[in-house]
A and B are shown apart, each in its own frame.
Chain A
Amino acid sequence: NAGVTQTPKFQVLKTGQSMTLQCAQDMNHNSMYWYRQDPGMGLRLIYYSASEGTTDKGEVPNGYNVSRLNKREFSLRLESAAPSQTSVYFCASRYGRTEAFFGQGTRLTVV
């Protein structure tokens, strides 16, 4: 089992560029999440999808959009990247009210 797979692992963007971070899980989980983690800090929830067909804002949604493409995939889009969005982005998934499984992260730098 691959678990939660994030692509790309690393990315450098120029200010104003757009990009989509991809996340896929193969565990048949219904809920999926996007978090960001700044250096030396905790994880902050950007958006989540409690089930296929629904998405909700988390703590820090500004500047991001998400798409729950199907049960397996949940993408995060930056329409116009800003240096403040330099961070490590983690995708997670889980089934119901159980522990969430995390991907290995995408390290994004916006210059």
Chain B
Amino acid sequence: GESVGLHLPTLSVQEGDNSIINCAYSNSASDYFIWYKQESGKGPQFIIDIRSNMDKRQGQRVTVLLNKTVKHLSLQIAATQPGDSAVYFCADNAGGTSYGKLTFGQGTILTVHP
């Protein structure tokens, strides 16, 4: 992902709905991707990751989908709860000579209404 210095997009859902948060990345050499959740006043917290040799990975209530053809990543949250309200970021790990470089996407503000 690359931060483009824009204010964050928002997604509002009702409690119990499924949420889908999208992320585009630009580096075709990226081979590892992470989703983070950030609550107000806190540092980002790990949710789920996926490597480039996979196209889907599931966790508890979350699923990450990776489409390398169009350089797109999505995070699906099942049965969204008010506690899921936060900012969600994707991050990608560059390969090759930029080994170790971890950059973040723009982020999405998720608001869950009871």
- Interfacial chain B residues near A44, Cβ < 8 Å: 3, 104
Size bin of chain B's contact surface: 20 to 34
Q: How far is the CA of A97 from the CA of B99 in the complex (A)?
A: 9
The listed residue (A4, A40, A45) touching B103 by CB distance below 8 A is A45
Q: Is the CB of B44 within 8 A of A48?
A: no
The listed residue (A41, A97, A102) touching B44 by CB distance below 8 A is A102
Q: How far is the CB of B57 from chain A (nearest CB, A)?
A: 13
Q: Is the CB of B5 within 8 A of A48?
A: no
Q: Contact string, B15-48, partner A, CB cutoff 8 A, digits 1/0?
A: 0000000000000000110100000001111100
Q: How far is the CA of A104 from the CA of B100 in the complex (A)?
A: 21
> Helix, strand, loop or mixed for chain B's interface?
loop
Q: Is the CB of B5 within 8 A of A102?
A: no
Q: Is the CB of B8 within 8 A of A40?
A: yes
A61 at the interface (CB under 8 A from B): no
Q: Is the CB of B32 within 8 A of A43?
A: no
- Interfacial chain B residues near A43, Cβ < 8 Å: 3, 44, 89, 104, 107
How many chain-A residues does the 8 Å CB contact rule pick out?
A: 28
Given A33-B102, A45-B103, are A97 and B93 neighbors across the interface (CB < 8 Å)?
yes
Total residue contacts A-B, CB cutoff 8 A: 74
Q: Is the CB of A35 within 8 A of B32?
A: no
| Candidate in A43, A101, A104 with the most chain B CB atoms within 10 angstroms | A43
In B55-89, the 8 Å CB interface with A consists of 89
The listed residue (A33, A35, A99) touching B46 by CB distance below 8 A is A99
In A80-111, the 8 Å CB interface with B consists of 90, 92, 94, 97-105
Which residue of chain A has its CB nearest to the CB of B8? A40
The listed residue (B7, B46, B51) touching A40 by CB distance below 8 A is B7
Q: Is the CB of A42 within 8 A of B100?
A: no
Q: How far is the CA of A52 from the CA of B98 in the complex (A)?
A: 16
B106 at the interface (CB under 8 A from A): yes
Q: Is the CB of A35 within 8 A of B104?
A: yes
Task: List 8 A-B residue pairs with CB atoms under 8 Å apart, sorted by A's residue number.
Answer: A33-B102, A41-B8, A42-B104, A44-B3, A56-B101, A59-B103, A90-B44, A105-B42
